[in-house]
């Protein structure tokens, strides 16, 4: 069976218990959140211990030994066979498989899709509709009411990556209801300081100026991730529109000062450059995830390569 990860996050206890969960996709922060929600469902209070094994072949049933059940995290999904799944499901343990999207996983995902004891969960970057669902859920739980125009402004600002999206919403708890107005709200959930946000809008400066600006404003890993998320958002805004008129209409109102720059940047990017930017963003994201300690250097290199693509 297939289940929507957003529905799982919003309603984790709505009859969501299965024996097997297969989490896949390309939005790693949403995959991680989904995994955490599932592990919260099967917590110690419900009689489950959390364990991690490399692959399913290392699984050994412990029922009767400690008189408790286990929930296993498995990130090596090779050599999973349906008859093996049929055997181990009798032990009443729970198995969470997590694997990045791959053509090799297609047949494997079909196995979990067809099984009534399984959930297949595909995690991709959130679109505006999904952000609206999550934001509405958050506001309802907190009994917060926003004016319609302010609601849509906030939705436009909220990030498409779940990790950043959730962190932005967490900041709202710092506001008392009486202090929720447009200025406070927009300022609070902006992911970075104005100077960090402005680095993207100086992307066409000379390289030495861009480097100097980066070194002055980026001092830690949090700054790096905020900047990268900001640059990715603006690149996506441009790439996802095919013509200038559609792009102009899609520019959020709060970017009125940067509108002329964004329009000129749109005209710089032909189809080939857009493809290169998509590849650059994807490769940089993977590199930063693997080389966590080098993120400041990687992000600067990303900016310089982005500038090179735009101006080539």
Per-residue pLDDT of the chain (312 residues; tens, 9 = 90+): 899 999 999 998 877 889 999 999 988 889 989 998 999 888 866 778 888 888 888 887 665 555 578 899 998 888 888 889 998 888 889 999 998 888 878 889 999 999 999 999 999 989 999 999 999 999 998 888 888 888 888 888 888 888 778 877 876 766 656 557 776 676 666 555 557 878 888 898 899 999 998 998 888 777 787 788 888 888 888 888 878 887 887 787 767 788 888 998 888 888 899 999 999 998 998 888 788 788 899 999 999 999 999 998
Query: Is the distance from CB of 89 to CB of 57 less than 8 angstroms?
Result: no
275: part of which helix (H) or strand (E)? helix 271-290
**Bridge partners (DSSP) listed for residue 22:** 97, 120
- CA atoms of 98 and 76, how far apart (whole Å): 8
**DSSP class of residue 61?**
-
Sign of CA dihedral 140, 143, 149, 151: negative
Determine the Cα angle at 125 with ends 121 and 130, to 5°.
80
Neighbours of 299 (CB within 10 A): 23
- Confidence (pLDDT) at 113: 92
Tell me the two tokens of residue 251: 């520019």
pLDDT at position 173, please?
66
pLDDT at 303: 95
User: Given this model, what pLDDT does residue 176 score?
Assistant: 57
Nearest-angstrom CA–CA distance, 25 and 76 = 15
Q: Which pLDDT value is given to residue 162?
A: 87
CB-facing half-sphere around the CA of 184: CA atoms within 13 A: 12
Q: How many CB atoms lie within 10 A of CB 287?
A: 15
Which is nearest to 168 in space by CA: 159, 176, 160? 159
Q: Give CA–CA dist 43/285, Å, rounded.
A: 32
Rounded to an integer, what distance in angstroms lies between the CA atom of residue 12 and that of residue 208? 50
* Positive or negative: CA dihedral 101, 105, 106, 112: negative
For domain 5-123, the CATH architecture is: 3-Layer(aba) Sandwich (3.40)
pLDDT at 89: 87
For the question of whether the overall pTM of this predicted structure is more than 0.85, the answer is: no
Query: What pLDDT does 175 receive?
Result: 64
pLDDT at 255: 77
Is the alpha carbon torsion for 76, 111, 43, 9 positive or negative? positive
**Which residues face 57 on adjacent strands?**
none
Gap between the Cα atoms of 31 and 24, Å rounded: 7
* Domain residue spans of the chain: 5-123, 128-189, 194-311
pLDDT at 66: 54
Q: Look at residue 257 in the predicted model and tell me its pLDDT.
A: 81
């Amino acid at each position: 069976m297939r289940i929507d990860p957003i529905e799982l996050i919003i309603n984790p206890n709505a009859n969501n218990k299965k024996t097997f969960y297969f989490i896949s996709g390309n939005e790693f922060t949403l995959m991680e959140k989904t995994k955490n929600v599932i592990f919260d469902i099967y917590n110690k209070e419900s009689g489950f211990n959390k364990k991690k094994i490399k692959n399913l072949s290392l699984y050994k049933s412990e029922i009767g030994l400690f008189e408790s059940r286990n929930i296993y995290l498995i990130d090596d999904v090779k050599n999973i066979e349906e008859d093996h799944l049929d055997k181990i499901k009798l032990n009443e343990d729970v198995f969470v498989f997590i694997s990045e999207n791959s053509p090799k996983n297609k047949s494997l995902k079909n196995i979990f899709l067809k099984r009534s004891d399984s959930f297949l969960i595909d995690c991709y970057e959130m679109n505006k509709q999904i952000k609206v669902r999550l934001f509405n859920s958050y506001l309802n739980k907190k009994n917060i009411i926003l004016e319609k125009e302010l609601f849509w402004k906030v939705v436009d600002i909220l990030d498409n990556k779940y990790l950043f999206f959730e962190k932005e919403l967490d900041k709202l708890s710092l506001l008392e209801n009486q202090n929720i107005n447009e200025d406070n709200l927009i300022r609070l959930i902006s992911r970075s300081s104005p100077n960090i946000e402005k680095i993207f809008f100086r992307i066409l400066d000379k390289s030495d100026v861009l480097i100097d600006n980066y070194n002055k404003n980026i001092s830690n890993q949090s700054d790096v991730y905020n900047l990268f998320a900001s640059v990715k958002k603006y690149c996506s805004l441009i790439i996802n529109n095919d013509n200038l008129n559609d792009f102009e209409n899609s520019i959020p109102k709060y970017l009125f000062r940067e509108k002329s720059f964004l329009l000129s940047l749109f005209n710089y990017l032909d189809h080939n450059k857009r493809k290169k930017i998509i590849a650059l963003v994807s490769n940089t994201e993977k590199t930063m995830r693997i080389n966590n300690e080098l993120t400041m250097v990687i992000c600067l290199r990303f900016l310089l390569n982005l500038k090179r693509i735009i101006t080539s």
